Amino acid sequence: MAFSLRTRNPTDTPRTSGHMIMHAVTIALATLTHILCEVVRCLATDPSTPNALFQVSARNVSATFPMEVSMDTWAENCWIMINIWTLAWMLHAMATLFQRSVVGPLSCNPEIHSPLFFLVWTTINMFRMAAILHWSRYDLVGTLLSRWLVVGCSFFTLGMSYRNLAHHSAWLQINHPAQICWIRYLAQNGLAVFCSWSLLEALVVLGQVLCYVGGFPDPMISSIIFLLILLFIKVWIALERLVFPRHLCYTFTTYPTLILGLGAMFTASYKFQAMAANTILCGIIMVLATCFSIASTVYSCFLDDEPPPAHSPALEFDLTSEGCETVCKVESDKTKHIKSVPHILKKILSDVRVGSH
């Protein structure tokens, strides 16, 4: 394993100010568009429409395209909790602009959520507003495209967060362990809630397009949508247990969000004396998701959380990003806890001896 030792000249001019400005601008842009999107959503769901922006309520549009897989009316209030959670981790990201790690501003040292991350979130908010506008005009195809773009971009940001945290977790565990908890439990779980709920809404719109634009019968399309939800649960389980167990083991909100969405679908079509087959299928998937959620939580409690060994690729990182050069420095009172330091010193001494010869 090759190590590179980089030192910074004390007379060098820091290049972090420009990158911090970029971080601040992109975070502020994502936050402002998020608030604007929530205002547009509230106007669209306002029962006293027409108003300044919409001529018809989103609930009335939903009643125009009923399906067995449609969510109940109370489900739209879930966006309040989702938007508050999203705003919370955005404000935390803004707070990191004023916090410092041992190598500089915490927002880009190391860079877990880059300016690209927040630019993508700005795009997500634009797509969400576009979906609301298309929906108010009864444009199912435009709504479908906008919602699936939201799903794709949101899962992209979630994967970016997982990847960057795994890349820098060893360094953060030594120098700023509290930041790991903030990212895992606030940001990544909030991202998972947003992704899961957006996926459910996009699948419902997909069913409405197939039914009302494609002309397929509703019971069959609703069954397909429920099976797609079950397929997503199986894919998430595979990713969580087999592919990325260390990345996803601290994300606990995916299954509860799916259970909440399935509950909204169940209550919308539930009739005690004439229960449809899709309602029964929805209930079965909801029970399975509950079992998977409990099993996932128990599994995470017994998961070994030891730091990676000295030869782990997680320790082979270079805290360098565009316009934000940083150097990994270990505080002196913590060096005795780092198993890789003796190996690094041996490597440095061997390089010095080779150079002297």
Note the pLDDT tens digit of each residue in 71-84: 988 888 899 999 99
Report pLDDT for 103. Answer: 65
- pLDDT bin (cut points 50, 70, 90) of residue 102 is low
Helices (H) and strands (E) in the chain, counts: 12, 4
Report pLDDT for 207. Answer: 94
Q: Is the pLDDT of residue 345 over 50?
A: no
Mean pLDDT of the 163-170 span: 87
Report pLDDT for 155. Answer: 96
Chain segment 104-162, per-residue pLDDT in tens = 677 677 788 889 999 999 999 999 999 999 998 899 999 999 999 999 999 999 999 99
Q: Compute φ and ψ for 107, nearest 5 degrees.
A: -65, -30
| DSSP-derived pairing of the beta strands 104-105 and 320-321 | unpaired
Indicate left, alpha or beta for 323 from its phi (over 0: left) and psi (-120 to 50: alpha).
left
Q: Is the pLDDT of residue 263 over 80?
A: yes
- pLDDT bin (cut points 50, 70, 90) of residue 52 is low
Report pLDDT for 330. Answer: 39
Nearest partner of 118 among 86, 144, 149, 146, judged by Cα: 86
Euclidean distance between the first and final Cα of the chain, in Å? 23
Token pair, residue 119, equals: 């630019």
Report pLDDT for 54. Answer: 76
Q: Is the pLDDT of residue 342 over 60?
A: no
- pLDDT bin (cut points 50, 70, 90) of residue 168 is confident
Report pLDDT for 305. Answer: 55
Higher-confidence residue: 313 or 275?
275
- pLDDT bin (cut points 50, 70, 90) of residue 1 is very low
Q: Is the pLDDT of residue 353 over 60?
A: no
Chain segment 281-305, per-residue pLDDT in tens = 999 999 999 999 898 888 777 766 5
pTM comes to 0.80
Nearest partner of 286 among 212, 348, 201, 200, judged by Cα: 200
Higher-confidence residue: 300 or 357?
300
Report pLDDT for 16. Answer: 56
Nearest partner of 23 among 84, 88, 100, 113, judged by Cα: 113
Report pLDDT for 216. Answer: 92
Token pair, residue 137, equals: 């005009």
- pLDDT bin (cut points 50, 70, 90) of residue 350 is low
Higher-confidence residue: 63 or 264?
264
Contact 44, 58 (CB under 8 A): yes
Higher-confidence residue: 269 or 310?
269
Neighbouring C-beta atoms of residue 288, cutoff 10 Å: 16
CA distance 30 to 37: 10
Angle, alpha carbons 16-17-19 (nearest 5°) = 65
